Amino acid sequence: MAKQYTINASQKIKSRKIIEGLFAEGKKLTATPYKVYYSLTANTAGLKFGIGVSAKSFKKAVDRNKIKRLTREAYRLQKNSLEQKVNAKAIQLDLFFIYTARELPVYNSVYEAMGKIIRKLEALVL
């Protein structure tokens, strides 16, 4: 069976309460151009993901949406190894990415940065 590279609705962070909880009590990881807030909980197994881009840095919604699209795509293609480790340990990992750079990214740089972040998170989960 082929690997499934998707992000389901159940894997997205939509609740403002969860996002605010991540900012308040979650741990922070920085890998240019992203700041990642994450929290590990032992109640359920799974991986949840969210992304934000500052409207102060990028005035046009088109630019913010492009950054979010590129980030989601890079995450979608590289999350499988992290997802397997999280499910094997039976823990819940919530991630929220904030794009911090001031210029529009190129997909290759986003892909590389996402790979670094996922490797760091895998080391934390072990």
Tell me: the pLDDT tens digits for 5-49?
A: 888 898 999 999 999 999 999 999 999 999 999 999 887 888 999
pLDDT at 125 over 90: no
CATH architecture of 12-125: 2-Layer Sandwich (3.30)
Strand spans (E) along the chain: 27-31, 34-41, 46-53, 92-99
- Read off the pLDDT band of 126 (50, 70, 90): confident
Other beta carbons within 10 angstroms of residue 9's beta carbon come to: 6
